[in-house]
Structure formats: C-alpha cells, structure tokens
Structure 1
Amino acid sequence: MIVGIDFGTTNSLIANSEIFINERGSRITPSIVFFRNNNEVLVGDLAKSQMYIRPDKVILNVKRDLGKGKEYIINNEKFKAEEIASFIFKKLKNIVNEEISSAVITVPAYFDDNQRNGVLEAASIAGLDVVKLLNEPVAAAIGYGINIENKKILVLDFGGGTFDITLMEIKDDVFNVLKTGGSSELGGIDFDNILVNWIVNTVKEKDGIDLNVDPVALQQLYIHAENAKIDLSVVENTDIIIPYIATLNNRPYHLNLNINRDIFLSISKGLIEKIEKLILEVANEEIDEIIFVGGSSRLFFLKELVKKIFPDKKIISDLNPEEIVVKGAGLYAQVLEGKINNILLRDILPHSLGVLDDEGNFIEILKSGIHYPSSETEIFTNTKDNQDTIIIKVLQKKNDEMINLGDFEFKFSKKWKKNEARIAVNFSLNINGLLEITAEDLNTGQSLKGKITNAMVNRKSINKDFINNYKII
C-alpha cells in the first residue's frame, strides 16, 4: 500500500482512501518526540503530555531544522534532526498497522534542496520509500479540486512552522503551478513566541518575576499561549491562567492575565505585515477562489486581511484546513496505485540554482519559476595546468540568501593544460524538485556523477542501526 503523509511542524497525519486514526482516536498526531530512556521514545500525544515535567527531553518543531545540520543532545547522545524526524515517520507507520510499501510525503513548496533532502533522509531511516515529494499547496488543491475544472486558485498554506503561497490553475486534470512564494521560517509558532514574550515581559514588569529562566514554567507558557491564540480566533478576549507557576515572597504565584484581539494585533504587527507582503508578491486579480490550508489559517486576522486584499474573490470556507493536505496526498497515493484516474502535476522551482565562479559570483543555471522535471547544461573548463579534478560549489538562491548545497567533485581520467578541458555540467531537477548533477568531458566522452562533499544532509554520518534500536510508543 502507498500512503500519503502530511509531515507537519506541529502535527502530522497519514492517509490513503481515508485518514488513519491513532491510538487516541484522533486523526492528528502531534509532531513531538520524548525520550523516555535510552531504548524508548514516545511520539505524539504521549510525548506532548511530558512537556510540562521533562521539557529537556522533549523535541518540538523538528521540521524547521531539517537540512540545516542541526543536532540535539539527549541523554548524552547526539541526534540529528533527520533522526528525530524519523521517529515521527515510524510512529505514523505504526498507526496504519498494515504493510506500507511506499509513501507520498508533503513538503512546503518553499523548501530548498537541503530541506527536501532532509525529509527524504528522515523517511529513509524510518524504512519508507518516498515515491513522491508533493508540495503541500498542490496536495491541498488535489484534495479540494480533483473533479474541478478550469479555475485559478490561490492556496494560502499557513501551518505551524511554514507559510506557503501558491497560485495555480486547474484544467483538464492538470494542476499547473503558476507562481509560488512564502517563507519556511514563518508560521503559527512565531505567534506563540510573541505571545510568550508578551507574557514574560508583562509578569516581569508587573511582579518582578522572570519566568524565562525556568524551563518548566516556560513550557507551560508556550502551551497556554497557543491555547490563547486559538481562543482569540473565536472570542474577543481570553484569560491566561496558570496556577502555581512560580513563587513570590515564598508564596505560590498564580499567573492570571487577560489578552484581547487588539493587544494580539499590536504585538504581532510585524508578522502580519510580513504575511501581507508575501501574499502580494504572489497573488494577482486573475484568481477565482482562495483556499486556506493549515491549522494556523484559523487565526482571526488572516481572512480579514485576505478580504481586504481581494474584496471580491470567493473564499472557500467549508474545508478542514488541518486535513485537506493529507487528503490530497492520500488521493495522489491512490493515483500511483492505479485506483484513481491519472492527474498531471506541473510544479515549479521556488529558488534559483547555480554555482560560484572563480571570483565568487553566483552563476544561475536553473531559474526560479521553471517547471520540473527540467534540466540545463553549462560548459566549464579548468583554471590551471595538470588538473584532472573539477570542484563545483553549488548554491541555491533563496530570496537574498545563498544556501550551500555542497561541493560537487568530478575526477576525470586525463590531466589537462590550463583552459583545455570542455566539461559539460548538467543540472537536472527530478520529479521531487531535487537537484541531480552529472558531468561529461566533451573531448573524451567520459561521463561522471558528482561526488558531493560538505553537504548539510550527510547520510554517511547517520547510524541507522542505532536509531532503529529505539522502540517507538
């Protein structure tokens, strides 16, 4: 069986024709890992229940750290972000209780090559063969519109850790992405952080207590801040009440604060302005409908903001934003199984790919916005005598930031004089939007696949046997 997996920053889901239910009777499994000891990890709701008492052994929001070389130290052992994420994938496999051969896994459209490779590696450690990395907004569009014809839709995918904006046309079973944008560093947890900072500063100013120095107290603040954020999407104001969170003058201190929408909007102004700017960079007046995806899309200000930008556009409000992505991934899994008529996906590269020249300049080879699969070839030469190796520094341009994808080394059978070599280097984007690089010596016909060094996701450094020894509960 092929399954669809929505691997989220905050929560994850797994589906095929239906969404699978976990041991708590819920379709949603928190993306949280708790190390009970050196042999067992708890994942999901069981891990979430440990956040109050053992925050030092609980890992949250690991999706944001994939492909960045992040490491955690738990029980004196080092774990890479990809290893932590693999526990979540294993938990989802256990929920199904059936033999899973392969998976369609959703990723933010704005993920770069390193982040996508991080997801692939985490799934591989968990024993999953990923047949497709499916961009989350595209998955949402499939979940919404597999039988819809001739519409341009704007998908606003606002999750716990990422914000994807995708303009797409659906026509004759073709899902054609026209433009994409957003941020992989903006999501609901950023509003949680702002609320927590507001609480900490308010309590410190009012009563002189610094809750920031107590990890257990801080964990409670994050949980109650998230609840307050959710409450404000329903009511105008709410109380944040946490008894016995600290001591004051040798007496128990009970936190009791009221927050309203005006305060929330005031302290979140910078984030909201960033959201508006990102939407305007992608959207245009040609859209027919707007879809909200992700749990954080329920925040009260978002629909008001979109109505201000597009006062005459139809907003689809009868979808479950937490489930629509995994529904689309499950449908696409059934397409691959031959259970549903084939659909064609035409997705685009969100960030340019290129190399550094000898003077340190970025040379673009694959431009952002091209549809994939796709490939381009550039001719390079050697810069000194007696050279038989070419090292290409590969970068991905993400807004104004240069993301290092590693150094690709090609060693040939001949040593050249300076500027003698004619090496055709091919950049190819596969169906998952991942870069593959090959090189050919045009003088001899020798072809090579690049050996990558300095990559952020180093598969050789991961000990799968060590990780697989852990029991997942």
Structure 2
Amino acid sequence: MTVIAIDFGTSNTAIAILRTEENRDFGLPETWRLEDISHGFATAEGQAWLVPSLVYVLDSAPDHPQFLFGEQARSQYQLENQSNKHSNYLKRLFQGFKRDIVASFRSPAREIDGKLYDAEAIAEVFLTEIWQRLALQGIQPTQVIFTVPVGAFEGYLNWFSNLAEKLQVSNFQIIDESTAAALGYAITRPNALVLVIDFGGGTLDLSLVRTAPIANNMAVQNQVIKAEAIAKSDAYIGGIDIDRWIAEHFLRQLGTTRSLIGEPYWQKILEIAEQIKIKLSLVQEVREVWVDQNKVAHELRLSQDELMEILEQNQMLEQLREAIDEVLTIGLNRGISKAAIEQILLVGGSCQIVAVQQLIISYFGKSKVKLGKPFEAVAHGALALGQSLKIEDHLRHSYAIRLWEPYLHQYSFYTLFEKGTKYPCQRSEPLILQAAIAGQTEIWLDIGEVADISQAEVTYDNSGRMTSSQLLKQSDFRSLAANTKKSDVDQVCIARLEPSGQLGSDRITVNFEIDDRRVLIASVSDLLTDKVLINRQAIAKLE
C-alpha cells in the first residue's frame, strides 16, 4: 500500500509518501523530491525538498499551452528579468495562487497568448503536473490526502474534491494543516496536548490538539489513535504580506513608490525583501543591493529589530497575539489551562522569523517551543490518516441563516451552529420561520459560513513615518448556495407552501443537525398543515 500526502502551500508544496507491505508495520514517511522542479531547504533535521508553488507560462499557441513549474519557473522568470527580451514576462509568472483561491477576493484572470488563466486554472495545472510526475516515477497511490488551511471555506474544499475527481483519485481525504502538523510532530505520543502554530506564506493557522488511544478489541500495537481538535483560530496573513511590507519600507526610505519605479523593479525589490527576511532568521542584520530603473545602485539594510518594528506597525504581531489568546480562551472554557499545553509546534517558513518566535516564547517559555520540522510536519502528519487514524474535530466557522425582515426591509443573520461546535451534533431547538411576503409559495433557506476577518490599516506622513495603525475587524458571510452544483439545486432546503404563506404567523419549523461526515441535515415541517415537507435531507457539505 502506498499513501501520498500533498501539502499545497502558498509559497511551497510538500509531497510525502508512506509505503507499506501487507502484514507489516508502517514505515517512516518520506519527503519526495521531484527532479528539476524541487528546491532544497535546510532544517534542523536535514534537507527538506519542496516544490516552489510557481507556474510560468511559456510562449505557445492557445490550444497548446506550455508551462514551467517550481524551480524551473523561477529560473525562467529570473532569466527573462535579466535579459528583458519580453515585455510581458511579468504576467507569465504565477505565484501565491493558492491564497487567491482561499480568499474571498479573486484576482482577475490574465490573458496570455490569447488564453485566460485564473488562480484556480493555474493551481489545477500545477497539482496535475505533480500528479503526472509521480505517475512517471512509478508511484501508484492507494490513498491520497490533501491538506487545507484551518479557515478554508467550502468553496476551496469543493475545488479540491473536483480536482481529485478530474485526476481520477477515488480514495482521497482532506485534513486541516494544523491538525496534520500536530500529528507529524506528536502522533507517537498518545494523550499529547499540543498547540500548532502554522504560519506560512498565505495564512496563519492555530490548532490546539490532543492525541489519545481509543479502547477497542484490537491488540495494543494496532490501537487506533484519535486526534481531538480542541480549539482553532486563523488569520488571513502570511509571509508574502511581510515581503511586501519590507519592500514598501525600503521604498519609503528611498523616497519613491511602487508606481514610480514600475512593476519589473518592484518585483526585483520584492525578491530582495524575501531574501533579507529569510537571512534575518539567522543573523542580526542583512545588507543587499538593489539597482533602480535609472541604473543607480542602492544598499538596502535591515536588522531584526527593524523587522520587528515593521511587523508591529502592520499589526501582524497583534493578529498573532489575538489568535493565541482566542485559542487559549476556547481551551480554558473547555477545561484546558495554558499550563497543560505540553508543546508548541511551529510550522511554516514565517515561523522562522525571530520576532515571531520571541513572541511565542514569551507566552509559553522556551522549553515548550519546538521547530524541528517547519516544512515537512504537515505532509508527514497527514499520512497518519492512512494509519487507522480517526480525527475528532469541530467546526472551523460559524454557520448562520440569512433572513429577510419584511418590516425592517433588510437582511439579518441567525446563527445555527457556533464556531468550535463538535460534530456530529444537533440543534437543541428548532428554527421557526414566517413568510417574508404575503402570498409566498416557497421559502428558501440561505445558509452560509461566517468567519471573522481582520485587516490592518496603517497611515504614513510625507516623511514616511507611521501616523496611525489600527486593526479592522468584520464578519464575512459566504452563502453555501454559491457552492452548490446546479444539479443539486432542488436538494437545497426549500419549503413549498400549500396554501401560500401570510405575513405575521409562524409557518414552518426547521430542525438542523450535522452528521459525522460534516453534512448539514435539515427536517422541515409545515405548522399550518402539520405535514413533513423535508425529512432529514442533506442540504450542504461543511468540509
């Protein structure tokens, strides 16, 4: 049996493989290297081979597009940047496309050689290439596991399911990245209580997880392990934001802006900013040279203290503090104290930033903080799903119903299930609804995911000094109907009223539950006719 885990990341993608033989114990996970497109990253445990999440579109006819991936894409982009042979080479490089899919805002599609490419199309091309390269190396998995951010909305999860169908992957599963990372570090330690802080290129995800053996009739060596996710939190912020802030910091020092220097030179200073950020994880100060559009060389210098100030100004460290506080509060409400957390597991490239590590150490103490597998823990932990593992999880987002208030002439939201609710579960009380308009013949229940979104707003004066900084918060509602296939429209919860509904009187009662597969189920009864309109019908997939 061969199990593959793919940790599709904003900056890099990790591929892990676990091979087993019949009637033999599971071996150790292996991070797979794909020749020509993988890049080696140094870690405390040796070299980690990752595929940079990059795609470069080569000159080609629209019906026969050609692409370069990972390190090949990076090399081609740098070659074009140095030679300046093609004026449109900038738009040919795609990066950060995973984050675009997860986000509520989508970047517009790019037209290249007469063909349109959006984030989803490029991500599909990228992962399909990885899949085909594995097949060429003779790897035929019996199970495939994908990892997703803690705060991923249903649209992103549906996209993964559709991709698996296109790749003809029949046996696949999805696990959130933070829970997978905990398993990657601590699966061999039953009853371990760990906090995973996964800070990558595009998102910050936290997960408080406990692993525990389940009592059963099997022999001890074959016991099933249950991973219980106790609390989760997330923020839409990552390493690519930090690169931009560093680049903007340098431009303010030089008295110029992104629009004045032009996109090619902005991309170059952005690359230098990323290099400086990485090097500052090892040394106190870094100096690099950037040549502007007038061929003038500038020395760019940044210290660890200055980077910390940049992170504070842009509210990144504040968002990290709030995410930690939220997880600790949820844990405390469930009887888990801060002192009970045994290990703090840091995952992702952005967790290597000294300021980030210092903040986390200030919360928990140096002895508890671990950073041994920053790039591979997620993929390696995901493989545990292939080792008779069960996950006891809870909802990542709240789920609410959007209702029309006929007397107020506006929409309101009514929460059905709170974020953090364990499933399977059932609402203790039914939802009772009235008709929104006189003579109404059917009621459509618009159910959606609700997540708290934070965004930093920073203001500078003419000298480049920060004048104000605040963290703006809002709730983001995303209707599940937008992710429903057209063929399934009639299966979404609709109450058809005979006779028609009238204003001012209760008309239907709805009971909701979530089963062990995170399927939302509804039962609808007509209070006027005493008829059951819908009996335990699945209306949405919540994972």
Which TM-score applies when normalising by structure 2?
0.73
Cα–Cα, structure 1 residues 107 and 374, in superposed 2: closer, same or farther, change >3 Å? farther
Q: How does 1:306-325 map to 2 (within 5 A)?
A: 306-311=360-365, 314-317=368-371, 319-325=372-378
The answer to whether the Cα contact below 8 Å between 2:290 and 2:300 also exists between their aligned partners in 1 is no
| Percentage of matched positions with identical amino acids | 22
Structure-2 residue corresponding to 1:23: 35
Q: How does 1:134-153 map to 2 (within 5 A)?
A: 134-153=175-194
**Is the counterpart of residue 346 in structure 1 residue 399 in structure 2?**
no
- In the TM superposition, what is the alpha-carbon distance from 1:82 to its structure 2 partner? 2.2
Structure-2 residue corresponding to 1:168: 209
**Is the counterpart of residue 416 in structure 1 residue 499 in structure 2?**
yes
Cα–Cα, structure 1 residues 405 and 213, in superposed 2: closer, same or farther, change >3 Å? farther
C-alpha deviations, 1:353-407, integer Å up to 9, x for none?
0102222221111111112344548444451565442212222221241322244
C-alpha deviations, 1:56-104, integer Å up to 9, x for none?
1111111122153624223243334322211221122123123346521
- In the TM superposition, what is the alpha-carbon distance from 1:326 to its structure 2 partner? 0.5
**2: distance between equivalents of 1:225 and 1:107?**
27
Structure-2 residue corresponding to 1:301: 355
**1: distance between equivalents of 2:364 and 2:167?**
43
- In the TM superposition, what is the alpha-carbon distance from 1:168 to its structure 2 partner? 1.6
Q: How does 1:117-266 map to 2 (within 5 A)?
A: 117-129=158-170, 131-172=172-213, 173-183=225-235, 185-203=236-254, 205=255, 213-243=261-291, 245-247=292-294, 252-266=295-309
Quote the RMSD (CA, aligned, Å).
2.8
Cα–Cα, structure 1 residues 87 and 438, in superposed 2: closer, same or farther, change >3 Å? farther
Structure-2 residue corresponding to 1:95: 133
1:392 partner letter? L
Aligned residue among 28, 40, 56 for 2:66? 40
**2: distance between equivalents of 1:275 and 1:446?**
47
Structure-1 residue corresponding to 2:97: 62
**Is the counterpart of residue 372 in structure 1 residue 423 in structure 2?**
yes
Work out the number of aligned pairs and report it: 434
- Which ranges of structure 2 fall in alignment gaps of 5 or more residues? 19-29, 40-48, 81-88, 214-224, 329-337, 406-410, 453-473, 482-488
**2: distance between equivalents of 1:144 and 1:344?**
17
Cα–Cα, structure 1 residues 122 and 215, in superposed 2: closer, same or farther, change >3 Å? farther
C-alpha deviations, 1:265-305, integer Å up to 9, x for none?
12221212221222122133321111111121111112211
The answer to whether the Cα contact below 8 Å between 1:21 and 1:95 also exists between their aligned partners in 2 is no
**2: distance between equivalents of 1:91 and 1:200?**
37
Cα–Cα, structure 1 residues 414 and 258, in superposed 2: closer, same or farther, change >3 Å? closer
- In the TM superposition, what is the alpha-carbon distance from 1:223 to its structure 2 partner? 1.4
Cα–Cα, structure 1 residues 436 and 128, in superposed 2: closer, same or farther, change >3 Å? farther
Single out whichever of 66-75 and 392-401 deviates more from structure 2. Answer: 66-75
- In the TM superposition, what is the alpha-carbon distance from 1:187 to its structure 2 partner? 1.0
Q: Computing the radius of gyration over CA atoms, which structure comes out larger, 1 or 2?
A: 2
Cα–Cα, structure 1 residues 115 and 130, in superposed 2: closer, same or farther, change >3 Å? farther
The answer to whether the Cα contact below 8 Å between 1:192 and 1:225 also exists between their aligned partners in 2 is yes
2:321 partner letter? E
SS of residue paired to 1:320: coil
Cα–Cα, structure 1 residues 209 and 277, in superposed 2: closer, same or farther, change >3 Å? closer
- In the TM superposition, what is the alpha-carbon distance from 1:157 to its structure 2 partner? 0.6
Ranked by relative contact order (alpha carbons within 8 Å, sequence separation 6 or more), the top structure is 1
Structure-1 residue corresponding to 2:218: none
- In the TM superposition, what is the alpha-carbon distance from 1:123 to its structure 2 partner? 4.3
**Is the counterpart of residue 290 in structure 1 residue 344 in structure 2?**
yes
Which TM-score applies when normalising by structure 1?
0.83
1:277 partner letter? E
Single out whichever of 348-357 and 224-233 deviates more from structure 2. Answer: 348-357
Cα–Cα, structure 1 residues 439 and 46, in superposed 2: closer, same or farther, change >3 Å? farther
Single out whichever of 258-267 and 438-447 deviates more from structure 2. Answer: 438-447
